[in-house]
């Protein structure tokens, strides 16, 4: 029935004493507090409390809170309103204070003041109660009549207001849905009433009296409105007059001078714009264009669509930072510390960035190549860009070109088009307000269609012309950093203008460090939690990495940590009940525990059980060894723009005519690898005793080769060795070792050629807990990039021939019947 009747307020309430307003039940008000006791209440109750109950406070009106803590508390107004604090905003200007947004729930009476310091707390008796209304309804005819009259008056009042205003329409609907008993409070807080009148309504505990107090206020408001409407009707042509003036003003050459403040706004506006144009310190060419446009604008009637276009253009022009730049404050030593503080690992990248910055410091006019960071998503490319901006003391802007394959997105649309806009670069400059920010451009691959690449050419940057501006803008001060996931999609002409820095994926250990140094503290802060409230042990982080994410970077790891923080934040908001998992052994203790709130200083520790509770069952289970229980399966290593991955190759044979079927969305190069592999095995079948009695192992058999994850397109020559191993296993009936992965291109003669992406591939093998990795001999030098700890965990086999590959891939080797002639690679 009543909205506030169901509320049960605590029997002890902290009191907020104020002289600046009266909170009535059912209304919301903003109140600023700055006295000692009130500030204490906010600090130690509202900001520290974690339960819903702690956000309920007693609002005592008409009582001035003493300025100082030591001053005596004056006698309290006996009736107050229990209020729910929905928002607290703190500020130090002009002096420390908090602004509270508080919603009134119900009246209470102070029965006993329990303490005065640091803020008053009192025993209270709740006044507005459900029974009171229901009983009143049945018993009292007069009350019924009063409430009806009040309702009618309220309807009349709302009827006089403009229903097209959404708030009025909402109030009209509310009138019917709210219980009638609450109307005096709600309306008294909405209409024009003094604090004294509101206080009288508040003090009217008896419902009948409350109606009697509020009704005259309502009637007064209605009468006031009636009077206002009458005076408006007396001067009906007022509006028209205003209209006439406005219309007249747009005719060129005619000036109106009005005594009142309704001056000719448009004339004023253009004059203002002119002033701004002159103050914008633009280069000669741009200034000339602006002045010409201004001249046109002055002559143009405002109703012309072009008026708005020209105005927008001019406003854009004056807002651009033509000659506004921030001063660089580069200190290489500080930069090193900052880069190290912001990012763990990525030593090579950091070293190159520092070199770049050092050269800039020595020669500020440096027109070096644009840096381009290439690596899987979430490895910190953009975030290094942000750190560079910080070290230089520059603004940072990120242009994400995801999905953008249109040059107008970068260069803007010509102004002749409706809805034309400047491109992303100019827009970015307008946002940052200086002409020398650090800009990162994500996903460079998409600029394939840019016919002219001036943006990325340092030599041509000084005269970048956006189609919308149509005058050159000097971008030579902007420090561009490009980022991309793969180099494959960047046009060679673009690549040629950039210095590419590879950012490989992270090892599990690196991820754990990054999580504990950066991601967890960052997420805790984002969710308003402290390390005293939530702790994630290293083992849990390892579990999150291996069981819930499979990525080269750390983005989804960060998301998972965020999910944990959210779950814990909910627990704290609910009052921090003991957060335990429901393992069967603990189940019986649950009832005893459930009522006890853990002491607030106890952190929530995320153990494996809690982890499973929050993130659900593990998403990735290592299934490597399970899948290698039959002959004809081998593990390869693939490189994708998302980092390295392990890849299974499966083969099966059936009766047929020696045909090879390939499935799994393979590209041409990969299909050719498969054919090469078959040919090599056929030609060496005798050597390895794969003949099965006949001369050709494929006689009377069809072979099917499949690369699982069939929906993903795969290509490249690096699966060659894996296909050979897989087929050798199928034809020999022997199992491939379940802890070995391999990569390498093959030739028809059985040589193993080098491939790319070794670091990412090796990291993928390490992530998958494999022990042995077979890589081409000529890739041995790439191992330098791999962290020593990962190198120590793995057993590397460097193969230059397929014979070596097979020997390493099978337990006990893969002996040839006759000794295999050693072929030396001259490639
Ligand atoms: N080495 C690191 N140390 C600390 N934090 C890191 C590190 N690497 C990545 N991060 C964090 O990972 C998150 C994602 O990084 P970022 O957005 O820079 O990725 P990105 O490489 O630009 O990805 P994309 O290619 O998808 O744009 C950021 O919050 C970043 O701070």
**202 and 88 in a common domain:** no
124, β-bridge pairs: 110
Domain that holds residue 549: 508-615
Residue 23: the pLDDT is 92
What phi and psi, each to the nearest 5 degrees, are found at residue 514?
-60, -40
Under DSSP, is residue 121 helix (H, G, I), strand (E, B) or coil?
A: strand
* 43-52, 516-525, 597-606: range with lowest mean pLDDT: 597-606
Domain boundary among 586, 615, 644: 615
Q: How far apart are CA 720 and CA 744, in angstroms?
A: 6
Q: Is residue 292 part of a domain?
A: yes
* Residue among 439, 552, 554, 643 to mutate when testing ligand 1 (max atoms within 8 A of CB): 554
**221 and 187 in a common domain:** yes
Q: How far apart are CA 245 and CA 266, in angstroms?
A: 12
pLDDT exceeds 70 at position 71: yes
Residue 296: the pLDDT is 87
Q: How far is the CA of 431 from the centre of ligand 1 (A)?
A: 23
**532 and 456 in a common domain:** no
Domain boundary among 319, 345, 362: 319
Q: Which of 262-266, 622-626, 718-722, 766-770 holds the top average pLDDT?
A: 718-722
The token pair at 753 is 């050629």
Residue 621: the pLDDT is 66
10-40: string of b/e by CB count within 10 Å (b at 16+)? eeebbbbbbeebbbbbbbebebebebbbbbb
**750 and 643 in a common domain:** yes
Residue 364: the pLDDT is 66
Is 761 a known active-site residue?
A: yes
From 574, 490, 577, 564, select the one nearest 523 (Cα to Cα): 564
> What digits encode the pLDDT tens for the residues 20-29?
889 999 888 8
Neighbours of 638 (CB within 10 A): 23
| Residue ranges lining ligand 1, Cβ < 6 Å | 343-346, 377-383, 442, 483, 485, 514, 518, 553-555, 558
Q: How far is the CA of 384 from the centre of ligand 1 (A)?
A: 8
Q: How far apart are CA 161 and CA 815, in angstroms?
A: 96
Look at the chain and report how many structural domains it folds into.
6
- Is 376 annotated in a binding site? The answer is yes
Q: Is residue 753 part of a domain?
A: yes
- Is 382 annotated in a binding site? The answer is yes
Nearest CA owner, ligand 1 atom 6: 380
Nearest CA owner, ligand 1 atom 15: 380
What phi and psi, each to the nearest 5 degrees, are found at residue 45?
-110, -55
Q: How far is the CA of 504 from the centre of ligand 1 (A)?
A: 12
pLDDT exceeds 60 at position 108: yes
Categorize the per-residue pLDDT at 491 as very low, low, confident or very high, splitting at 50, 70 and 90. confident
Nearest CA owner, ligand 1 atom 11: 380
Q: How far apart are CA 287 and CA 281, in angstroms?
A: 8
Q: How far is the CA of 381 from the centre of ligand 1 (A)?
A: 6
C-beta separation of 705 from 666 below 8 A: no
Residue 589: the pLDDT is 44
Q: Is the dihedral angle over the CA atoms 556, 562, 563, 565 positive or is it negative?
A: positive
Q: Is residue 494 part of a domain?
A: yes
CATH number of the domain at 489, please.
Answer: 3.40.50.300
- Is 380 annotated in a binding site? The answer is yes
* Residue among 351, 372, 380 to mutate when testing ligand 1 (max atoms within 8 A of CB): 380
What phi and psi, each to the nearest 5 degrees, are found at residue 600?
-60, -20
Q: How far apart are CA 659 and CA 718, in angstroms?
A: 23
Q: Is residue 298 part of a domain?
A: yes
Q: How far is the CA of 544 from the centre of ligand 1 (A)?
A: 17
Is 718 a known active-site residue?
A: yes
Nearest CA owner, ligand 1 atom 26: 377
**677 and 733 in a common domain:** yes
> What digits encode the pLDDT tens for the residues 385-444?
888 888 888 888 888 776 555 677 778 888 777 678 888 888 888 888 888 888 877 765
The one catalytic residue among 547, 673, 761, 800: 761
Rounded mean pLDDT, 338-355:
87
Ligand 1 atom closest to the CA of 385, numbered from 1: 18
Q: Is residue 243 part of a domain?
A: no
**641 and 605 in a common domain:** no
Residue 588: the pLDDT is 42
* Residue among 375, 379, 508, 561 to mutate when testing ligand 1 (max atoms within 8 A of CB): 379
**137 and 120 in a common domain:** no
Rounded mean pLDDT, 587-595:
41
**552 and 631 in a common domain:** no
* Residue among 378, 387, 512, 760 to mutate when testing ligand 1 (max atoms within 8 A of CB): 378
The token pair at 547 is 């069981």
Q: How far apart are CA 351 and CA 94, in angstroms?
A: 46
Q: How far apart are CA 246 and CA 240, in angstroms?
A: 10
Categorize the per-residue pLDDT at 83 as very low, low, confident or very high, splitting at 50, 70 and 90. very high
**426 and 378 in a common domain:** yes
Categorize the per-residue pLDDT at 131 as very low, low, confident or very high, splitting at 50, 70 and 90. low
Residue 107: the pLDDT is 92
Q: How far is the CA of 152 from the centre of ligand 1 (A)?
A: 62
Ligand 1 atom closest to the CA of 522, numbered from 1: 29
Residue 176: the pLDDT is 83
- 3-state percent breakdown (helix, strand, coil) of the chain, nearest 5: 45, 20, 40
C-beta separation of 22 from 202 below 8 A: yes
Categorize the per-residue pLDDT at 80 as very low, low, confident or very high, splitting at 50, 70 and 90. very high
Q: Is residue 327 part of a domain?
A: no
CA angle 56, 41, 529 (to 5 degrees): 80
Residue 367: the pLDDT is 65
The one catalytic residue among 718, 729, 732, 800: 718
The token pair at 317 is 């022009």
**Between β-strands 643-655 and 633-640, what pairing exists: parallel, antiparallel or unpaired?**
antiparallel
- Is 381 annotated in a binding site? The answer is yes
Rounded to two decimals, the pTM is 0.54
Q: How far apart are CA 742 and CA 740, in angstroms?
A: 7
Cα within 13 Å of Cα(546), Cβ side: 18
Rounded mean pLDDT, 56-69:
85
* Percent of residues, the chain, with pLDDT higher than 70: 82
Residue 624: the pLDDT is 60
> What digits encode the pLDDT tens for the residues 732-776?
888 888 889 999 999 988 899 999 888 889 988 888 888 899 999
Look-up: residue for tokens 């020209």? 310
Q: How far is the CA of 117 from the centre of ligand 1 (A)?
A: 49
pLDDT exceeds 70 at position 445: no
- Is 58 annotated in a binding site? The answer is no
Residue 746, H or E segment:
strand 745-746
Q: How far is the CA of 536 from the centre of ligand 1 (A)?
A: 20
> What digits encode the pLDDT tens for the residues 225-264?
888 777 766 554 444 443 333 333 333 333 333 333 334 4
Look-up: residue for tokens 């009106």? 61
Average pLDDT of the residues of the chain: 79
C-beta separation of 731 from 681 below 8 A: yes
Q: How far is the CA of 428 from the centre of ligand 1 (A)?
A: 21
Q: How far apart are CA 248 and CA 786, in angstroms?
A: 77
Residue 630's contacts (CB-CB under 8 Å, 6 or more residues apart) are 735
Residue 582: the pLDDT is 42
Q: Is residue 161 part of a domain?
A: yes
pLDDT exceeds 80 at position 44: yes
**141 and 121 in a common domain:** no
Categorize the per-residue pLDDT at 597 as very low, low, confident or very high, splitting at 50, 70 and 90. very low
Q: Per the omega criterion (within 30 degrees of 0), is the bond before 94 cis? A: yes
The token pair at 10 is 């605590």
Q: How far is the CA of 554 from the centre of ligand 1 (A)?
A: 7
Residue 267: the pLDDT is 57
CATH number of the domain at 34, please.
Answer: 2.30.130.40
CATH number of the domain at 512, please.
Answer: 1.10.8.60
Residue 602: the pLDDT is 66
Look-up: residue for tokens 């950066």? 518
Q: Is residue 822 part of a domain?
A: no
Domain boundary among 83, 110, 128: 128
> Distance of CA 541 to CAs 343, 515, 608, Å?
18, 8, 10
Q: How far apart are CA 678 and CA 697, in angstroms?
A: 10
* Residue among 339, 383, 517, 522 to mutate when testing ligand 1 (max atoms within 8 A of CB): 383
The token pair at 363 is 């020669």
Residue 722: the pLDDT is 93
Nearest CA owner, ligand 1 atom 7: 380
Ligand 1 atom closest to the CA of 386, numbered from 1: 18
**777 and 628 in a common domain:** yes
3-state SS, one letter per residue, for 440-456:
EEECHHHHHHCCCCHHH
Residue 237: the pLDDT is 46
- Tell me how far apart the terminal alpha carbons of the chain are, to the nearest angstrom: 88
**339 and 303 in a common domain:** no
- Is 491 annotated in a binding site? The answer is no
């Amino acid at each position: 029935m009543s909205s506030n009747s169901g509320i049960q307020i605590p029997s002890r309430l902290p009191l907020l004493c104020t002289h600046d307003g009266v909170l009535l039940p059912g209304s919301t008000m903003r109140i600023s507090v700055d006295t000692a006791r009130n500030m204490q209440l906010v600090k130690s109750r509202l900001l520290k409390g974690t339960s819903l109950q702690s956000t309920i406070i007693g609002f005592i009106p008409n009582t001035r809170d003493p300025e100082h803590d030591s001053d005596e508390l004056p006698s309290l107004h006996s009736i107050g309103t229990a209020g729910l604090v929905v928002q607290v905003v703190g500020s130090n200007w002009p002096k420390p204070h908090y602004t509270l947004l508080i919603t009134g729930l119900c009246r209470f009476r102070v029965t006993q003041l329990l303490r005065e310091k640091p803020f008053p707390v009192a025993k209270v008796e709740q006044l507005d109660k459900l029974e009171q209304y229901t009983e009143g309804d049945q018993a009292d005819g007069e009350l019924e009549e009063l409430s009806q009259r009040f309702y009618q008056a309220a309807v009349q009042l709302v009827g006089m207001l403009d229903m097209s205003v959404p708030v009025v329409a909402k109030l009209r609907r509310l009138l019917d849905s709210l219980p009638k008993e609450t109307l005096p409070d709600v309306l008294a807080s909405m209409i024009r009433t003094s604090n004294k009148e509101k206080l009288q309504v508040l003090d009217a505990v008896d419902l009948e009296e409350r109606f009697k107090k509020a009704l005259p206020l309502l009637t007064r408001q209605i009468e006031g409105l009636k009077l206002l409407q009458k005076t408006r009707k007396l001067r009906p042509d007022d509006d028209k007059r205003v209209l006439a003036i406005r219309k007249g003003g747009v005719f060129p050459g005619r000036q109106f001078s009005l005594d009142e403040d309704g001056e000719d706004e448009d004339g004023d506006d253009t004059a203002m714009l002119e002033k701004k144009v002159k103050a914008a310190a633009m280069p000669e060419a741009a200034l000339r264009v602006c002045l010409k446009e201004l001249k046109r604008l002055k002559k143009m009637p405002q109703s012309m669509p072009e008026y708005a276009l020209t105005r927008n253009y001019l406003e854009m022009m004056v807002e651009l930072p033509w000659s506004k730049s921030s001063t660089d404050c580069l200190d290489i030593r500080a930069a090193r510390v900052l880069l190290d503080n912001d990012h763990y690992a990525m030593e090579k990248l950091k070293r190159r960035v520092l070199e770049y910055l050092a050269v800039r410091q020595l020669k500020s006019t440096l027109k070096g190549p644009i840096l381009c960071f290439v690596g899987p998503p979430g490895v910190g490319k953009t975030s290094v860009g942000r750190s560079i901006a910080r070290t230089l003391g520059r603004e940072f802007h990120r242009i994400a070109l995801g999905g953008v394959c249109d040059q107008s997105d970068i260069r803007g649309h010509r102004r002749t088009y409706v809805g034309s806009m400047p491109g992303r670069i100019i827009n970015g400059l307008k946002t940052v307000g200086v002409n020398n920010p650090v800009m990162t451009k994500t996903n460079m691959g998409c600029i394939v269609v840019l016919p002219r690449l001036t943006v990325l050419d340092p030599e041509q940057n000084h005269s970048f012309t956006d189609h919308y501006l149509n005058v050159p803008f000097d971008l030579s001060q902007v420090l561009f950093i490009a980022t991309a996931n793969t180099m494959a999609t960047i046009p060679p002409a673009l690549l040629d203008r950039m210095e590419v820095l590879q950012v490989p994926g992270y090892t599990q250990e690196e991820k754990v460090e990054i999580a504990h140094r950066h991601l967890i503290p960052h997420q805790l802060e984002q969710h308003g939690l402290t390390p005293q409230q939530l702790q994630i042990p290293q083992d849990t982080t390892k579990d999150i990495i291996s069981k819930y994410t499979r990525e080269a970077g750390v983005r989804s790891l960060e998301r998972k940590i965020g999910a944990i923080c959210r779950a814990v934040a909910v627990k704290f908001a609910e009052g921090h009940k003991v957060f335990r998992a429901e393992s069967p052994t603990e189940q019986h203790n649950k009832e005893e525990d459930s009522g006890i709130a853990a002491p607030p200083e106890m952190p929530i520790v995320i153990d494996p059980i809690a982890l499973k509770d929050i993130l659900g069952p593990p998403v990735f289970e290592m299934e490597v060894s399970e899948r290698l229980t039959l002959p004809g399966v081998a593990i390869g290593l693939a490189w994708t723009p998302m980092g390295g991955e392990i890849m299974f190759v499966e083969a099966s044979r059936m009766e047929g005519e020696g045909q090879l079927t390939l499935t799994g969305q393979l590209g041409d190069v990969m299909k050719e690898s498969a054919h090469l592999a078959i040919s090599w095995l056929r030609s060496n079948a005798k050597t390895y005793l794969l003949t099965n009695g006949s001369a050709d192992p494929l006689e009377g058999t069809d072979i099917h080769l499949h690369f699982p994850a069939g929906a993903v397109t795969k290509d490249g020559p690096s699966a060659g060795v894996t296909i050979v191993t897989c087929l050798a296993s199928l034809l020999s009936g022997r199992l491939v070792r379940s802890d070995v992965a391999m990569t390498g291109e093959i030739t028809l003669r059985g040589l193993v050629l080098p491939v790319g992406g070794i670091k990412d591939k090796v990291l993928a093998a390490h992530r998958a807990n494999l022990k042995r990795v077979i890589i081409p001999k000529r890739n041995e030098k790439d191992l330098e990039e791999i962290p020593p700890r990962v190198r120590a965990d793995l057993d590397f086999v460097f193969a230059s021939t397929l014979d070596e590959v097979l020997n390493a891939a099978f337990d006990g080797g893969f002996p040839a019947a006759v000794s295999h002639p050693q072929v030396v690679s001259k490639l």
